[in-house]
Amino acid sequence: MMRIHHVLLPVAALAFSGCNLFSGKCTYELRSLDAAGQFNQNGSTLAAAQVTLSEQRGSLQGQSISWLVTSTDLKGHVTSASFKDSSNPGQVLLALPLASADRPEISQGAARSAEGANLGGFHDIIVAGRGVIELQTDLPSQPTVMVQLAPTNAGDWIRPYCS
C-alpha cells in the first residue's frame, strides 16, 4: 500500500497543479529569435533585413522563418537573395524569392519545415553572429551586398501552458 501511495502522490500533485501534462499541452517547448541588420554605404543604408525564427520541439516539432529585405537603391538590380552562414559563404541555406517589380521590398516571405524547408541550425547560426542575407546584383560597382544579421531578441526554450 505504501508503494501505491508514493506513486499516486506525485501523479495527483501534477494533475492538480495546472501543469497540463495530461492534457498534452505541456509536452513541447518553443523558442523564438528576431534579428536585423543593414549594409551601409557612404553614410546611408543601402540594404536592410529583418528575420524572425520560431522553433518547436517535443511532441510538436517544426521551425518557421519569416523575412523582409529592403533597399530603395538596389530595387530592380537584385538578381538573387539568400540566407547564408558566413563561415560557409558558398552554400545557400535558403533561397529568398525576389518580390515583383511593383512591390517596394526586395524580398518578403516565410518558410516552414512542415512545408519542406530545411531550417535546422538557423538559430545557432544567427546567435553566433554568422547569419547573413546575401544579395547578388547586376551593378558592376556593387555585385554582392552582404547584410550581417544580429539578434535583437533571442528567447530561450519555454514550455507554454506549464506552470
**pLDDT tens sequence across 45-98:** 999 999 999 999 987 789 999 999 999 999 999 999 999 999 999 999 999 999
Q: Model pTM?
A: 0.83
Q: Please give the backbone phi and psi of residue 159, each rounded to the nearest 5 degrees, phi first.
A: -110, 100
Structural contact between residues 112 and 67, judged by C-beta atoms closer than 8 angstroms: no
Amino acid at 23: S
Tens of pLDDT, residue by residue over 99-157, are: 999 999 999 999 999 999 999 999 999 999 999 999 999 999 999 999 999 999 999 99
What are the sequence ranges of the domains in the chain? 29-154
> How would you list the strands of the sheet with 131-137, edge to edge?
92-96, 78-85, 131-137, 144-148
Q: Give the span between the Cα atoms of 20 and 17, in whole angstroms.
A: 8
Q: Specify whether the CB–CB gap between 71 and 134 falls below 8 A.
A: no
Contact in structure between 35 and 160 (CB atoms under 8 Å): no
